[in-house]
Amino acid sequence: MKTVTEKNHCKKSISWMTAMALLLFAIPLSAQEPWPADANWQVMLDSNWNNMTDPPNDQNPASVDVISNGVPASAYFYASSTSVFYRMVLSDTPISNQNELKPFAWMASIDVNGDGSLDWQIRAAGITEYIQIFCFLPATTLNWQVPNPVSAGYVRAINMGSFYYFDMQVPLTALQRDGYPNNVDLDTPIRFFFHTSTTEAVDIKDATVPTTNFSAAFGLTGTTTLGNASDGYGRINDTRDTSPYSSAGIWKPNETVLVSGSGWPGSGSSYFNSGVRNVRFKDPDGNVVWSGTVTTDATGNFTGSSSWAIPTTAVSGIYSIEVEDPRTAGSWLKYDTFTVENPIAIELYSFFASSHQNGVIIAWHATAYGNTAGFHLWRSTSETSFERITAAMIAEPTRQTTEHNVYEFYDTSGVDGTRLYKLEEISLDGASTFYGPISVSYTSGIAAATHPNDFKFLQNYPNPFNPQTSIVYELGERAEVSLSIHDMNSRVVRVLVAGAQPAGRYSIVWDARNDFGEPVSSGIYIYRLVAGEFSQTHIMTLLK
């Protein structure tokens, strides 16, 4: 060990080299930030999600003895948007009466890619009186340093009576280097632990984990992020984007969202729970759209999961993935986000036609979610041959209500008799979805055929059905209409129509989904029409 005289001589001999080296670094010296409040420090967890602890009085001198007596854990961390803060608990102060670091070293070692090897090391070195950051390419490379870290404000010691807090802070940019594959940002999953040394070599005298081997030490530490966006450890992500908290993974309706992850409590942990984790997805509005489970093996790595099949009615936007905290039942941790792009995101509330003296009015009410380019109408006098009757795509609604877009088209061409109409919806990527057909009887010049003379509620067609069916009814006059689907226990499954409608013939499509856009199970369903004083009920069967 160098004496104090030798240490001061060493400082003088390297001072000119240090000054030249700092001129070469791309990362500027960042000003230190105010230290976080005690309540903001995050306890570091080991691989079993237990607090990192180390027994007291197992190392000499006491200033390199990591302990946990009198405190919940031996190690803590915190991160702002620009700086990273580390705290370890020691038996004695690491700072001398001369307000310098004692001639030892205190380090935080970081593994970025989960391979158990050292990628970054933050080192408060009392022999040369520097706080430094090294990366490994694999050669050891000095990436950032500040001399006299105590007086510069980058380290401090706090006397807590029976122990000392030793705190370090570094700028986040100092953990990044051009061309280095294992840079660290706030959302990077990392494993890290604290340790001490009586030299400035890359070795371990005492640590927050019970080993002096780097690979073994990383294996005993929990995976977390400096930004701590999840307020938890481990990681989970959709498989189209391995970066946590990133929404770059894109999924579309009828696809099944798959998740993966690692760093969860292993079989040796009291939080293992047979490897079962509760997970849920939330839509852009914060509504839970799916809940299920994922499973992990004895080492905490994911082995499988139940999955969410995205419904065709899913809203486009950013969805979140949450996992129930193994430590606190009912507490959910946000781990990742993904994007749903729905090219055919429309909910058709009604599609109907009514006969008038000079033609037929075709109208439809829809709620669109921003991915619909427009509509075309098709007409036929038979079930087999349809022709398109819209020269240009209908992109704008005729009018809007507080709930729906209302579209109308006046068909003045064609022959007398029964006409069939289909509605084609075109998404922004050119995909088409057809609705209908609906039928209407037309006789040119006869106003009496404008609307039905009475109320009728017809049997759905097809029946049984899968995946959708049409429900047809006629209104003899304008009325407040309610059309709803119920299960066999009389619980409401879906409300298809709720509001005033003029006289006419209507055809409503039910896609076998509930009001939340979720597919319903096979079985018998009741559907009920209430129009003014008219009320009637039918049953139908869904077969999958």
How many Å apart are CA 55 and CA 397, to the nearest integer?
A: 72
SS3 23: helix
Residues 219-266 pLDDT 10s: 899 888 887 655 568 888 888 887 766 778 899 888 899 888 888 888
Predicted confidence band at 419 (pLDDT cuts at 50, 70, 90)? confident
Instruction: Specify the pTM.
Output: 0.58
Q: How does the average pLDDT of the chain come out, rounded? A: 84
CB 105 within 8 A of CB 197: yes
Predicted confidence band at 542 (pLDDT cuts at 50, 70, 90)? very high
Mark which of 340, 373, 393 sits at the end of a domain.
340
% of the chain at pLDDT higher than 70: 88
Mark which of 315, 340, 365 sits at the end of a domain.
340
- What mean pLDDT comes out for the span 106-118? 92
Angle among Cα 313, 317, 319 to the nearest 5 degrees reads 95
Angle among Cα 511, 515, 521 to the nearest 5 degrees reads 55
Range of the domain at 285: 235-340
Tell me the residue type at 391. A
- What mean pLDDT comes out for the span 320-328? 90
Tell me which of 162 and 22 has the higher pLDDT: 162
Tell me which of 435 and 161 has the higher pLDDT: 161
- What mean pLDDT comes out for the span 489-508? 85
Identify the CA nearest to 147 among candidates 325, 21, 319, 315: 21
CATH code assigned at 437: 2.60.40.10
Q: Would the pLDDT of 28 be above 70?
A: no
Residue 229 domain flag:
no
- pLDDT value of position 447: 43
How many Å apart are CA 448 and CA 21, to the nearest integer?
A: 95
Mark which of 274, 305, 340 sits at the end of a domain.
340
Q: How many domains does the chain have?
A: 4
Tell me the residue type at 91. S
SS3 content of the chain, % helix, strand, coil (to 5): 10, 45, 45
| Same domain, yes or no: 434 and 525 | no
Predicted confidence band at 403 (pLDDT cuts at 50, 70, 90)? low
- pLDDT value of position 164: 96
Tell me which of 77 and 367 has the higher pLDDT: 77
Residues 179-202 pLDDT 10s: 898 999 988 889 999 999 998 888
- pLDDT value of position 376: 95
Predicted confidence band at 369 (pLDDT cuts at 50, 70, 90)? low
Tell me which of 243 and 217 has the higher pLDDT: 217
Measure CA of the first residue to CA of the last residue in the chain; give whole Å: 78
| Same domain, yes or no: 327 and 349 | no
Question: Cα separations (Å) of 481 from 297, 388, 515, 540?
Answer: 55, 31, 18, 20
| Same domain, yes or no: 273 and 380 | no
